[in-house]
């Protein structure tokens, strides 16, 4: 039998606003985990390649962040956009004047999406100052301390860019080896760029400046493609960390007899975090969409090429069996690049999906705690909190077309399998004798097929 004064003897814990449940352990670092501090290195590196032309990304004060139209960063952005449109136009011109094929249109899609990504990041840059001020306001209301957040963002930035650099070097090595084998004369910069960028130098006369500019635009496109995924990952780290801050307080309070004031305080923090996620999603959902669309297309393309022809070391010109042994990897440069590129692309795409989906997973954690609130202290605030968690879908999205959840990974995998089956079904006709064979290592980096009509 419970005593009559059972409810009166409940050991209530009155929460202190400056010493919330679970916060004392987080203050060991004494440095707030702010959005600007966490993404500072990532954004500065992005601006090196003309992305996010805003002022004050290196500052810790939101007042210094502003978008200035007449600045050297915006000028650099406009020049980069013109360069990407130029090389996209050259790829389109090549497609219109040659026999159309999936592999032949790959450079057009690659450079075209790069120009589109630049425009999307321009929209992000224009909304960035207001977003930073909103985030800073939320951080002032709910300061939290995560010593690993900045480290995770910087470490991920360095790791992803290092792998992207390795992939780019392997692509150049593969192209250089292919050009060296195909050319009967000594290799020069002119012969290399003509072999690597036929969509430009089949129609324009060679000059050293144009060759360097084309190589820079190609490198910039490669970086922008990788940076889109990196940008989504780092922002997902921050948003997940904010939700985990709320979840930590709830997990520490699980099963405890706490007053209504505590549940109202935590619910309001959860509401602010959810509102922050929606605000961020409104700004970056275009980047998420183009990132997932790019990854899906090139995974399908690479898998189709590898499943149809296999991963081979010889491409348009074989460096094996022709008596040429001066290549670095003995003729397997193209195969090495293709294998590394495919594995890296799949791993990066899966990583982006899983990390971005953690925002949705973290938003559902409070439900399990709220279901275990003791009956004597169950109140209207707990019910409101529970209704919000169960009735609201908090997740990043791609232009509101899809939400990034863990189930999205299986959906994308099913789409890839369906695409491969359809492509195999429609790709049963043999090639004509007067057409150059398809390079099994053909990708957006090394599309060196020159149609016989040219």
What are 66's two structure tokens? 């502003």
Q: What is the mean pLDDT of residues 281-305?
A: 90
Residue 19's beta-bridge partner residues? 16
pLDDT, one tens digit per residue, over 376-409 is 888 898 899 999 998 888 999 999 899 999 999 9
Burial class (CB in 10 A: 0-12, 13-18, 19+), 187: middle
Q: Torsion-angle region of residue 255: left (phi > 0), alpha (psi -120 to 50) or beta?
A: left
Q: What is the mean pLDDT of residues 276-287?
A: 94
Residue 369's φ and ψ, nearest 5 degrees, are -75, -40
Q: Does residue 25 carry a pLDDT above 50?
A: no
Distances (CA, A) of 189 to 94, 199, 210, 215, 395: 22, 16, 11, 11, 48
Q: What is the mean pLDDT of residues 102-107?
A: 76
Confidence of residue 349 (pLDDT cuts 50, 70, 90): very high
Specify whether the CB–CB gap between 216 and 87 falls below 8 A.
no
DSSP class of 26: G
pLDDT, one tens digit per residue, over 190-230 is 888 888 888 888 888 888 889 899 999 999 999 999 999 99
Average pLDDT taken over every residue of the chain: 80
Residue 179's φ and ψ, nearest 5 degrees, are -65, -40
Q: Interior CA angle at 166 toward 444 and 177, to 5°?
A: 65
Distances (CA, A) of 247 to 208, 269, 361, 437: 58, 10, 11, 57
Residues in the chain: 454
pLDDT, one tens digit per residue, over 359-378 is 999 999 999 888 888 888 88
Burial class (CB in 10 A: 0-12, 13-18, 19+), 185: exposed
DSSP class of 431: P
Burial class (CB in 10 A: 0-12, 13-18, 19+), 331: buried
Q: Interior CA angle at 132 toward 128 and 138, to 5°?
A: 145
Cα–Cα dist 156/148, whole Å: 12
DSSP class of 320: S
What integer pLDDT is reported at residue 449 of this predicted model? 36
Nearest to 366 by CA among 273, 261, 279, 260: 273
pLDDT, one tens digit per residue, over 227-262 is 999 999 999 999 999 999 999 989 988 888 888 899
pTM: 0.83
User: Which of 97-101, 182-186, 190-194, 265-269 is least confident?
Assistant: 182-186
What integer pLDDT is reported at residue 271 of this predicted model? 93
Determine what percent of the chain is predicted with pLDDT higher than 70: 79
Q: Does residue 431 carry a pLDDT above 60?
A: no
Specify whether the CB–CB gap between 26 and 145 falls below 8 A.
yes
What integer pLDDT is reported at residue 24 of this predicted model? 42
3-state secondary structure of 88: helix
Cα–Cα dist 121/116, whole Å: 9
Specify whether the CB–CB gap between 242 and 271 falls below 8 A.
no
Angle between helices 72-96 and 106-141 (to 10 degrees): 150
Q: Does residue 452 carry a pLDDT above 50?
A: no
What integer pLDDT is reported at residue 160 of this predicted model? 93
Specify whether the CB–CB gap between 401 and 281 falls below 8 A.
no
What integer pLDDT is reported at residue 445 of this predicted model? 40
Q: What is the mean pLDDT of residues 129-149?
A: 87
Beta carbons within 10 angstroms of residue 372's beta carbon: 9
Cα–Cα dist 419/300, whole Å: 7
Distances (CA, A) of 369 to 13, 52, 374: 17, 40, 10
What are 352's two structure tokens? 């982006």
């Amino acid at each position: 039998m419970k005593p009559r004064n059972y409810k009166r003897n409940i050991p209530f814990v009155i929460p202190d606003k400056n010493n919330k449940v679970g916060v004392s352990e987080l203050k060991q670092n004494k440095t707030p985990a702010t959005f600007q501090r966490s993404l500072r290195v990532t954004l500065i590196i992005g601006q090196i390649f003309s992305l996010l032309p805003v002022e004050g990304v290196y500052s810790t004060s939101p007042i210094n962040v502003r978008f200035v139209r007449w600045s050297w960063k915006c000028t650099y952005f406009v020049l980069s956009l013109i360069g990407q449109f130029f090389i996209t136009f050259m790829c389109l011109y090549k497609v219109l004047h040659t026999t159309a094929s999936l592999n032949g249109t790959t450079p057009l899609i690659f450079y075209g999406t790069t120009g589109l990504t630049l425009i999307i990041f321009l929209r992000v840059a224009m909304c960035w100052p207001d977003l930073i001020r909103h985030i800073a306001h939320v951080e002032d209301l709910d300061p939290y301390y995560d010593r690993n957040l900045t480290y995770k963002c910087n470490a991920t930035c360095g790791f992803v860019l290092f792998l992207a650099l390795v992939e780019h070097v392997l692509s150049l090595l593969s192209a250089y080896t292919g050009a060296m084998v195909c050319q009967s004369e000594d290799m020069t910069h002119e012969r290399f760029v003509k072999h690597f960028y036929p969509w430009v130098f089949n129609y324009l006369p060679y000059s050293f400046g144009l060759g360097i500019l084309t190589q820079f635009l190609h490198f910039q496109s490669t970086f922008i493609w990788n940076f889109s995924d990196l940008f989504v990952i780092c922002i997902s780290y921050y948003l997940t960390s904010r939700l985990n801050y709320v979840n930590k307080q709830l997990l520490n309070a699980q099963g405890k007899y706490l007053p209504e004031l505590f549940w109202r305080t935590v619910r309001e923090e959860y509401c602010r975090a959810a509102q922050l996620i929606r605000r961020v999603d409104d700004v970056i959902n275009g980047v998420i969409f183009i990132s997932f669309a790019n990854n899906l297309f090139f995974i399908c393309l690479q898998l189709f090429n590898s499943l149809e022809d296999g991963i081979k070391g010889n491409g348009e010109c074989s460096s094996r069996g022709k008596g040429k042994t001066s290549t670095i990897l003995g003729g397997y440069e193209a195969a090495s690049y293709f294998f590394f590129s495919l594995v890296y692309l799949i791993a990066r795409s899966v990583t982006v999906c899983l990390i971005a989906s953690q925002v949705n997973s973290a938003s559902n954690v409070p439900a399990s705690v709220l279901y275990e609130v003791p009956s004597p202290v169950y109140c209207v605030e707990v019910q409101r909190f529970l209704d919000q968690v169960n009735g609201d879908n908090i997740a990043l999205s791609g232009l509101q077309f899809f939400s990034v959840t863990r189930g999205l990974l299986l959906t994308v995998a099913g789409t890839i399998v369906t695409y491969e089956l359809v492509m195999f079904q429609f790709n049963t006709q043999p090639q004509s004798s007067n057409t150059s064979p398809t390079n099994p290592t053909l990708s957006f980096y090394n599309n060196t097929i020159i149609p016989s009509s040219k």
